[in-house]
Amino acid sequence: MAQTMPKRRLEKIGLSVTGACVALVTLVVVALILMVAGKGLSAFFKDGVNPLEFFAGTKWDLQNTNENGMPYVGALPLIVTSSAVMVLSTLLALPIAVGSAIFAVEIKPEFGRRVFQPMVELLVGIPSVVFGLIGFHVVVGFMKTVLGSPTGLGILPGSIVLAVMILPTITTFSIDALRAVPASYRQGSLALGCTRWQTIWHVVLHAAKSSLITATILGMTRAFGETLAVRMVIGGIEVMPTGLLDSASTITTTLTTSMAVYADGSPQSDILWSLGLLLMGMSLVFILIIHFVGRKGATERG
Amino acid sequence: MAETTETPAVGGPDIDPSITSASPSVVDPRADAAERERLRRRAVNQDKFATGVLTAIIGLVLLIVVAMVAYILIEGAYTLVQPGFLTERSRANGTAGGVAYQLFDSFYLLFLTLIISVPISLGGAIFMVEYAPNGPVKRIASTAVETLSSLPSIVVGMFGFLVFSVGFGWKYSIISGAVALTMFNIPILVRAIQQALEDVPQAQRDACLAMGLTRWEATVHVLVPSAMSAIVTGVVLSAGRVFGEAAALLFTSGMSSPVSLNFLSFGFTSPSSAWNIFRPGESLAVHIYKIYGEGSPEAQQIVWGTAALLMICVLIFNVVARLAGRALSRKVTGV
């Protein structure tokens, strides 16, 4: 059939079939963004929630309503917890990820390719509920027995679990970033009499700076949006966190526990969509930052 | 650490110009021999220290990976070999019995997801690599894919809930879950296939076109076959990710399977038919999330058994991806 078809028609069919796939994906993404935005904004426009209260209010309680019949929608505790978990887990993961990437690229490249990278890929493949489960038993148990926390749940165990989860993301992208540094840079530095560490510290890391920043931001994006693993170790109590070992709740964990509870179209459901919009907005901002950093790196390289 | 003191203040983009003056190992003619020797030794010691620290870090990472996998497998091994764990359905809301239905639902969801997402991703990737000039279309499309990949899976799940479960009236169903997973899977797949196609040497593309093949013929008969091993590896690896995903499924395929499923009933609309795509379903990962907090020893055993089962499936996907990719590339290249 295909052989007898005129070539131009065949080409047109190929173009339109594959083009339709791209159009479909693009359309779905646009629809998703518009619908989440529409739903998320309806809390402010339809239900009359004050954005200031949403972003700065500290009382989050969807079950009880105030005198106006509205639930308490101060999302600041959730935003603070999400940000704290994201920053803390990145701080924990970053040195380990970049350090092991340096080892796998600069010190033992063969070992890095053959042993280390498959191991890291394995870590990527471990499902997030399994991370959560191990966190719930090992990390939370550690917090209880060693640090004497009553429940063992909270921001610190959440950050530790997340740090392990974003470790492969940052490591993989860092390895790519370091490999992209031309070998001539290293040779030049070594020929000047620099030691290997001096070469790594002053030359290689310097040259890979913008890609390493991108790797870090990708890790942060994942940390900010991760849901179930955090849900299992953070406690899920929507109050302003006062310490690293108090139960708290991130944006994602609140969505997990509350989303299916409230009917579509209720103020409670609308405000949860606002949280979803916030999550989506954050990940879009992260993408923008990555593009900006990438472009800056490209112009610096000339 | 001592080396921070000699970090150059402001550097150029690539190689720091101040390095020659900042680096202690560069010979300064005014320094006497002893001073030079001291600086040289310091640099060497720093190098050794840094290498030691990096080795310790990588050891830690390897330890974490191995310890995690071993911990899950050991904790779950006992349950996994219990008779009936893999073949019985769960009872008492998941806290007793086996995980047969969850295992089936996981694979069924994965199967449906791949059926939907592989053709779309393949088409999309082919368009972006072979057809789209480096123009606005490709930029828009790759931005869309990138956006989709960075969205938290819970947001994808919420969207799936809103559109498929509520909007299309599919309720909690396997098909809602599969479509949500598709959205989660497409960016991973598109990227893998795009990479695979880009790795095909440009000369092959040129040769095909020079012989008078259309782009479509070149793609179908030459480029996709020679990229096949990398594509298969990418698909199987993405399958591993899909298999363990739970957040996108909570609101789409639901958190429970029907009480009893009939695997022999091929009435695709019957609520008890295992193959009915409009019935609710629960994957292994969702099952873990559902019962991890149950205190009873039996439930805890089921949780660990399920985790071990999930882990083994993911390991198998990893190994299969590698083996299939290698076997296919051997077949294509004939080596």
pLDDT for residue B29 is more than 80? no
How far apart CA A80 and CA B53 sit, in angstroms, is 33
Whether B216 and A103 lie within 8 Å, measured CB to CB: no
Whole-number Cα distances in Å, B64 to A97, B59, B314: 13, 9, 17
- How far is residue B159's CA from residue B166's CA, in Å, rounded to a whole number? 10
Answer whether B78's CB lies under 8 Å from B92's CB.
no
Q: How far apart are CA A297 and CA B325, in angstroms?
A: 34
pLDDT at B17 over 60: no
Among the partner residues B53, B155, B216, nearest to A14 by beta-carbon distance? B216
Rounded distance, CA A242 to CA A247, Å? 9
Q: Which of A10, A134, A192 is the closest to B72 by Cβ? A: A134
B264 to chain A, closest Cα gap in Å:
31
The Cα B272–Cα A68 span in angstroms is 46
What pLDDT score does B334 carry? 64
- What pLDDT score was predicted for residue B28? 55
Domain definitions of chain A by residue range:
75-269
B222 touches chain A (CB under 8 A): no
- Express each pLDDT in B160-202 by its tens digit: 999 998 889 888 899 999 999 999 999 999 999 999 999 999 9
Q: Which residue has the higher pLDDT, B2 or B226?
A: B226
- Would you state the structure tokens that stand for residue B109, as one six-digit string? 């969801």
| Largest Cα–Cα separation, chain A | 77
pLDDT at residue A179, as a whole number: 94
Specify the higher pLDDT residue, A111 or B1: A111
CATH number of the structural domain A75-269: 1.10.3720.10
- Show the 3-state SS of B145-191: HHHHHHCCHHHHHHHHHHHHHHHCCCCCCHHHHHHHHHHHHHHHHHH
Q: What percent of chain B has pLDDT over 70?
A: 89
Asked if B47 lies within 8 A of A96 by C-beta distance, the reply is no
Residue pair A160/A139 in contact (Cβ under 8 Å)? The answer is: yes
Nearest to A156 by CA among A237, A78, A81, A59: A81
Query: Residue A213, Cα to own-chain centre: how many angstroms?
Result: 14
CB atoms within 10 A of CB B330: 11
- Give the pLDDT confidence of B76-135 residue by residue, as tens digits: 998 888 888 888 888 777 777 888 889 999 999 999 999 999 999 999 999 999 888 677
Q: Do A10 and B216 touch (CB under 8 A)?
A: yes
- Please say if the pLDDT value at position B330 is more than 90: no
Give the residue from A18, A92, A280 with the most B CB atoms within 10 Å of its CB, the best one to mutate.
Answer: A18
Averaged over B312-334, what is the pLDDT?
85
- Overall average pLDDT of the B51-79 stretch: 93
- Separation of alpha carbons B275 and B271, rounded Å: 9
Confidence of residue B25 (pLDDT cuts 50, 70, 90): low
Q: Is the pLDDT confidence value at B12 over 50?
A: no
Number of inter-chain CB pairs under 8 A, A vs B: 298
Q: Answer whether B154 sits within 8 Å of A221, measured CB to CB.
A: no
Looking at chain A, which residue has its C-alpha nearest residue B245? A127
Question: Which residues of chain B does A10 touch, with a Cβ-Cβ cutoff of 8 Å?
Answer: 214, 216-217
Cβ of B154 and A28 within 8 Å?
no
- Please answer whether residues B158 and A251 qualify as being in contact, where contact means their C-beta atoms are separated by less than 8 angstroms: no
Contacts of A253 by beta carbon, 8 Å cutoff, 6+ apart: A227, A230, A231, A234, A236
d(CA A225, CA A253): 10
User: Chain B partners of A170 at a C-beta cutoff of 8 Å?
Assistant: none
Identify the bridge partners of residue B273 per DSSP, sorted by sequence position: B262
E strand or H helix that includes residue A208: none
Ramachandran angles phi, psi of A127, nearest 5°: -60, 150
Closest Cα in chain B to A296: B13
Mean of pLDDT values over B259-270: 74
Work out the number of other CB atoms within 10 angstroms of the CB of residue B151: 27
- Smallest Cβ distance to A11: which of B22, B162, B215? B215
Tokens representing A197 are: 């560490």
Rounded to two decimals, the pTM is 0.87
Check pLDDT > 70 for residue B4: no
B243 vs A: CB within 8 A: yes
- ipTM value of the model? 0.88
CA B142 to chain centre: 19
Amino acid at A32: L
pLDDT score for A301: 65
Q: What is the pLDDT of residues B201-212, one digit of tens each?
A: 999 999 998 998
Here the contacts of A26-29 (C-beta below 8 Å, separation 24 or greater) are A26/B140, A26/B141, A26/B144, A28/B148, A28/B183, A29/B144, A29/B145, A29/B147, A29/B148
Q: How far is CA A19 from the centre of its chain?
A: 30
Per-residue pLDDT at A283: 92
CA A188 to CA A30: how far, in whole Å? 48
Q: Among A102-106, A135-139, B281-285, B322-326, which stretch is predicted with the lowest mean pLDDT?
A: B322-326
Q: What is the pLDDT of residue B296?
A: 85
Closest A-chain CA to B26 = A193
For residues B72 and B64, give the distance between their C-alpha atoms in angstroms, rounded to a whole number.
Answer: 12
pLDDT value of residue B298: 86
Q: What is the pLDDT of residue B198?
A: 92
Nearest Cα to Cα of residue A193 among B35, B8, B24:
B24
Question: Which of B150, B176, B208, B217 to probe by mutation at the A interface, max A CB count within 10 Å?
Answer: B150
Nearest to A26 among B141, B217, B307 (CB): B141
Q: Best of A78, A202, A275 to disrupt the B interface by mutation (most B CBs within 10 Å)?
A: A202
Question: Which chain A residue is nearest to residue B66, measuring alpha carbons?
Answer: A119
Please report where in the chains the tokens 């890790």 appear, as a residue: A219
The SS3 of residue A61 is: strand
Question: Mean pLDDT in each 10-residue stretch from start to end of chain A (302 residues)?
Answer: 69 90 94 93 87 87 80 90 95 96 93 90 88 92 86 91 94 94 94 92 92 94 91 88 87 89 85 93 92 82 60
pLDDT exceeds 70 at position B22: no
